[in-house]
Amino acid sequence: LTRLQYLHRIHLSDVLQLLDGKAIAKGILDSLRERVAQLVRANHPPPGLAVVLVGEDSASQVYVRNKRRACEQTGIRSVAHDLPADVRENELLALMDTLNEDPDIHGILVQLPLPNHLNKSAVLETISPMKDVDGLHPENVGRLTRGEPRFVPCTPAGILEILHFYQIPVEGADVVIIGRSEIVGKPLAQLMIMHNATVTVCHSRTKNLAQVAAGADILMVAMGKHHFVGADFVKPGAVVIDVGIHRVNDKLSGDVDFNAVSPKVRAITPVPGGVGPMTIAMLMSNLALAAKMQS
């Protein structure tokens, strides 16, 4: 081995790698800003995103604010539709119809969760599949399942970008996903299958969870349970992707107990600064794709 190869092997095997989603997201947003500026210089309208927020859920307000800020940073036009918590379903559906017809709006985002009296499926199915930048319309879900994606849900798409950026091989890897939600776990599983991983999806009824997780080359955790995943859940040298976001004592942390797990693994996403910023960057990137397809 040359000295360089030797150092490289050490780098890959022994040194913990922090998977810096924040830096990758910045690169994606910087290049999008440049593309939007080029469009505007050529007298095209900037891509437009409608952001629909129903009610006053405080976590949703933070997510929506971050998405609107990313629009500002990239020159994307975002239009806010803040509706009261008791909005009637037919009013919300009528708004979707209006936005579907609006040529200056290329993407529609309805922040979830919706209040209980609203039928989430009915709302998501009313969004035009061509403006469905969250990738939750059944047509886009079906396309991903067939391995022919149009809009991939933003969090799974962001995770794949992180793995590609750090050249972490997905093909043939044993990937264990904890969580089977419509927005993270299930589309993530489809995306990993599409990229030739061997995928196991765990959920609240899974038996011997820690033991199953410890078989993973890449462990992806999206369960919404603070610091649930400890050192016993990981194989030495595994890669860990932590999707969870929790605010505890005014600090953000994940589903993975970072201090317990990180000494054992090869690479891990921090919270904050891992998956979260990538989710927003992929939303902007889906919007740019939507605008391109519609122009």
**Region from 83-91, 92-100, 141-149, 217-225 binding ligand NAD, contact rule CB under 6 A:** 217-225
Of the candidates 111, 132, 186, 190, the residue annotated as catalytic is 111
Is there binding between residue 225 and ligand NAD (CB under 6 A)?
yes
- 30: annotated active-site residue: no
Under the binding rule (CB under 6 A), the answer on residue 203 touching ligand NAD is yes
Q: Please work out the total of residues on this chain that contact ligand NAD, with binding judged by CB under 6 A.
A: 23
- Residue with Cβ nearer ligand NAD (144 or 202): 202
Distance CA 28, CA 50 (A): 21
Contact status: 179 vs ligand NAD (CB under 6 A)? yes
Shortest gap between Cβ of 79 and ligand NAD (angstroms)?
Answer: 22
Which span sits near ligand NAD by CB under 6 A: 92-100, 144-152, 169-177, 220-228? 220-228
Residue 243 touching ligand NAD (CB under 6 A)? yes
Q: Which segment (8-16, 82-90, 118-126, 238-246) binds ligand NAD by CB under 6 A?
A: 238-246
Active-site residue 67, yes or no? yes
Residue 134 appears among annotated catalytic residues = yes
Is the bond into 272 cis (omega within 30 degrees of 0)?
A: yes
Q: What is the DSSP string of the chain?
A: --HHHHHHHHHHHTS-EE--HHHHHHHHHHHHHHHHHHHHHTTPPPPEEEEEEES--HHHHHHHHHHHHHHHHHT-EEEEEEE-TT--HHHHHHHHHHHHH-TT--EEEEPSPPPTTS-HHHHHHHS-TTS-TT--SHHHHHHHHTT--SS--HHHHHHHHHHHHTT---TT-EEEEE---TTTHHHHHHHHHHTT-EEEEE-TT-SSHHHHHTT-SEEEE-S--TT-B-GGG--TT-EEEE---EEETTEEE-SB-HHHHGGG-SEE--TTTSHHHHHHHHHHHHHHHHHHHH-
Minimal distance, residue 7 CB to ligand NAD, in Å? 33
Tell me whether residue 105 or residue 222 sits nearer to ligand NAD (CB atom).
222
* Residue tagged active-site, from 131, 132, 134, 255: 134
Count Cβ atoms within 10 A of the Cβ of residue 50 and give its class: 0-12 exposed, 13-18 middle, 19 or more buried.
buried
Contacting residue, 75, 115, 224, 230, with ligand NAD by CB under 6 A? 224
> Which is nearer to ligand NAD, 95 or 233 (by Cβ)?
233
| 180 contributes a contact to ligand NAD by CB under 6 A | yes
By the rule CB under 6 A, 276 interacts with ligand NAD: yes
| Catalytic residue list | 67, 111, 134
Q: Which residues bind ligand NAD (CB under 6 A)?
A: 155, 178-181, 183-185, 202-204, 206, 209, 222-225, 243-245, 275-276, 279
